A and B are shown apart, each in its own frame.
Chain A
């Protein structure tokens, strides 16, 4: 493990067995990372545009999970001046943006389908340089 740059940061996490630890921020982060990775994989591998959109949702929600996890009062600095709801607020914004983005993306997809009778993203290369 010596060569890896992140060793120093990750090592303590790996040292403990997450399955036996009490539920903490690490668990949330792990779930978020799994969601994120699943979303990325979905975006990369799905040829159906709707599948890609679903992957995007997964990526966004993985990120949301992180925001909410880091917003835990236990992680706040002593005497912090914030309301303590920053993470939740950002997560709400992300959900909102995701909804808007999905609406636009679905509209594009529908139009694409109207024009090309398919929703295969590999065939949507009209805008390539």
Chain B
């Protein structure tokens, strides 16, 4: 099979397998095995199948588009090699992968449609694919992590196989809630989630992305609210859903701006049945004419200059054809004076709004920590490794359309997010909340990296983070499973009883802080991705001295990350047990839970390595959107901003500086944590009391929940109370009055019916009945009498006839 049909087939099947599993469990759930135990087998089999197909696709990809050493070796020279990049059907350019790395040529990619849902006028909705090396990589990453988590969850969720007594829910009349287990329902939602997530990754157009975006949202709602009898869980589920809706509102605006102005939501180009080229978003925004540099497409210029278009049409009212030509000839002029720039900026920001919600960025990050109410495997898969990564992925995918100004906004949002979340994580005591804020903070890193032009850096960090953060979450789940508490203040000294969990978690912690040896350039996966972010931020800060704070946010964030991660590890695994009751019951988790930890730990170490020119970063580089490798300058808003080329961050001095800064910040964070929690040189309590106001501020999470409650929830509740009062006091009264009137009329009707109409009907029936009774007497049953009647009747009839027809008889 040809590669451009093989890849969509493989990935499409991998995408649909979890859907099949969802359907099977949906209809046969509780009947699958003992108490639905088979649901785990079905779901795991589906995701393993998806992993296998993804790996086949991965190998196929590498066989057809070998990943060469990118970056330094290529040099910027290759960038200008050829401007022949228009061809979006990548098969044409399969051999040009090396040149594509930085240049003006599109990397190999495939796009097309499986099925057209609707086509009418300009509107065309389809189920399609857009596959490049990033898609393939994301497929492997998602299915691999999902496989680990399915295996882990089949052990973690075993309580749900039987009836469950939920000690956190008190029912009326004392006692705890007793309910049937929901094992199969968990795996059902997990399968649907995997399907939706893979759908976002493979989607060939923004409409499809949006559909699966919402599906992912609803899966998240199911899974956060898995223990929905708990008030906190159902609240957290609703909070996550509603906060995401706010972001999605912005996304809808972005979709409408793109749709209204450009008339398409497709990423890549395609050929219509009549042979016409349908231009996708990317080639409209970065056309060949400009050497794939960003420009405002004609559609947006015309949409923004609607007044001028109208005037031109009026001027040529006599000859419409000349009017059309006049508009076409004026478009370039309008573009020059700036029409449409705002529209493009707004479209980019709108799509980013959706990502702010889904990826938990400031100011919509408040839902993610609460989402930890879900079972821990959910936290690991959905709220750290994949779903929240969807926002980062979409920004990456949509990158060619984002203007430098929009990127600056993204960078600042990322910086604010990473700083706020990291500071809150410093003082959190719930082990899962520390990890949740750490996730928010790392997502901020990714957004910032994308915003400062580090397209590869951001997505590279997305991949490495997915591995070590799911590892950390699964380790925390293992700890919670053993201790039956989330509170780190009750743990301590667990390394002896839980060696597997402890050591793998240490690997995760080292990976997330980016541990490595600066001059030898060897380290765990986080080392490479974090270094490239730091380097890119440094380059950006040099190019835009006014925005140097972004670099300091990254560097400071790295120190904070190191501190809170090792605070977590030291508090949990080292020192003396703080709570003997908890410690006595602690035990290592079963193999079904520790094997995934080991698998993920290995990947957390090696995911960043480049061996023989092959590495995740190089593979991502292969998918770099055409025209984004050289950096760009935005001149129009915010006093101008320069997005440096990512290649510049590979320069030796930048790289060394970034590595040293990263090493120094991480080391200082770890040392501080060790000083406070291992060597006890500094007492945490003393520090907290000295900095009491700051500590209180952080422990209360910057009062964001209170702020939002005051700013949004309270007013909404007040409006709702008013509406409810109007509803009850006014509308209900009116409706009740109407109902009362109707009842009276109906009573009158009933009276007429009963007394007039019924008596008429009854009277007729009675008369008939009585006549029958009277006539019955004629039927005497006496034969001879009948004969007599007949004879007499005949005679009588004869006499009657003679009298009436006398004349005729007389002849």
- Which residues of A pack against B, CB within 8 Å? 5-6, 8-9, 40, 43-47, 52, 121-122, 124-129
Given contact pairs A5-B799, A5-B806, A8-B809, A129 touches B783 in the complex (Cβ within 8 A): no
Bound Cα distance A52, B783 (Å): 9
> Which chain A residue lies CB-closest to B800?
A5
Residue pair A6, B802 in contact (C-beta under 8 Å): yes
- Nearest CB on B from A55, distance (A): 8
> Which chain A residue lies CB-closest to B777?
A129
Residue pair A124, B787 in contact (C-beta under 8 Å): no
Residue pair A121, B783 in contact (C-beta under 8 Å): yes
- Contacting residues of chain B (648-697) with chain A, CB-CB under 8 angstroms: none
- Which residues of B pack against A, CB within 8 Å? 775-776, 778-784, 787-788, 791, 799, 802-803, 806, 809-811
7 closest Cβ contacts across the A-B interface?
Answer: A125-B781, A128-B781, A5-B802, A129-B779, A121-B783, A129-B776, A43-B787
- Nearest CB on B from A108, distance (A): 11
Residue pair B788, A44 in contact (C-beta under 8 Å): yes
Chain B residue numbers with a CB within 8 Å of A5 are: 799, 802-803, 806, 809
Given contact pairs A8-B810, A129-B776, A44 touches B791 in the complex (Cβ within 8 A): yes
Residue pair B779, A128 in contact (C-beta under 8 Å): yes
Bound Cα distance A125, B802 (Å): 35
Total residue contacts A-B, CB cutoff 8 A: 48
Given contact pairs A8-B809, A43-B787, A128 touches B803 in the complex (Cβ within 8 A): no
Which one of A8, A46, A127 lies within 8 Å of B781 (CB-CB)? Answer: A127
Chain B residue numbers with a CB within 8 Å of A122 are: 782-784
Which one of A9, A121, A126, A127 lies within 8 Å of B784 (CB-CB)? Answer: A121
Given contact pairs A128-B779, A129-B776, A43 touches B803 in the complex (Cβ within 8 A): no
- Nearest CB on B from A119, distance (A): 11
Residue pair B791, A40 in contact (C-beta under 8 Å): yes
Bound Cα distance A83, B788 (Å): 38
Bound Cα distance A68, B780 (Å): 37
Residue pair B782, A121 in contact (C-beta under 8 Å): yes
Residue pair A124, B810 in contact (C-beta under 8 Å): no
- Nearest CB on B from A67, distance (A): 18
Residue pair B787, A40 in contact (C-beta under 8 Å): yes
Given contact pairs A5-B799, A5-B803, A8-B809, A124 touches B791 in the complex (Cβ within 8 A): no
- Nearest CB on A from B138, distance (A): 93
- Nearest CB on A from B799, distance (A): 6
Bound Cα distance A121, B783 (Å): 6
Chain B residue numbers with a CB within 8 Å of A40 are: 787, 791
Bound Cα distance A128, B776 (Å): 8
15 contacts between A and B (CB under 8 A): A5-B799, A5-B802, A5-B803, A40-B787, A43-B787, A44-B784, A44-B788, A45-B784, A52-B783, A121-B784, A122-B784, A125-B782, A127-B781, A129-B775, A129-B781
Chain B residue numbers with a CB within 8 Å of A52 are: 783-784, 787
Chain A residue numbers with a CB within 8 Å of B788 are: 44
Bound Cα distance A129, B776 (Å): 5
Q: 17 additional contacts, CB 8 Å, given A43-B787, A44-B788?
A: A5-B799, A5-B806, A8-B811, A40-B791, A44-B784, A44-B787, A47-B784, A52-B784, A52-B787, A121-B784, A122-B784, A124-B781, A125-B781, A128-B780, A128-B781, A129-B776, A129-B779
Residue pair B809, A9 in contact (C-beta under 8 Å): yes
> Which chain A residue lies CB-closest to B810?
A8
Residue pair B781, A126 in contact (C-beta under 8 Å): yes
> Which chain A residue lies CB-closest to B772?
A129
Chain A residue numbers with a CB within 8 Å of B783 are: 52, 121-122, 124
- Nearest CB on B from A9, distance (A): 6
- Nearest CB on B from A122, distance (A): 6
Bound Cα distance A9, B778 (Å): 35
Bound Cα distance A121, B780 (Å): 12
Chain A residue numbers with a CB within 8 Å of B811 are: 8
> Which chain B residue lies CB-closest to A56?
B787
- Nearest CB on A from B790, distance (A): 9
Chain A residue numbers with a CB within 8 Å of B802 are: 5-6
> Which chain B residue lies CB-closest to A37?
B791
Bound Cα distance A122, B784 (Å): 7
Bound Cα distance A127, B779 (Å): 9
Bound Cα distance A89, B122 (Å): 92
Chain A residue numbers with a CB within 8 Å of B775 are: 129
Chain B residue numbers with a CB within 8 Å of A8 are: 806, 809-811
Chain B residue numbers with a CB within 8 Å of A129 are: 775-776, 778-779, 781
Chain B residue numbers with a CB within 8 Å of A126 are: 781
Chain B residue numbers with a CB within 8 Å of A6 are: 802, 809
- Nearest CB on A from B805, distance (A): 9
> Which chain A residue lies CB-closest to B789?
A44
Bound Cα distance A121, B785 (Å): 10
> Which chain B residue lies CB-closest to A128?
B781
Chain A residue numbers with a CB within 8 Å of B778 are: 129
Chain B residue numbers with a CB within 8 Å of A45 are: 784
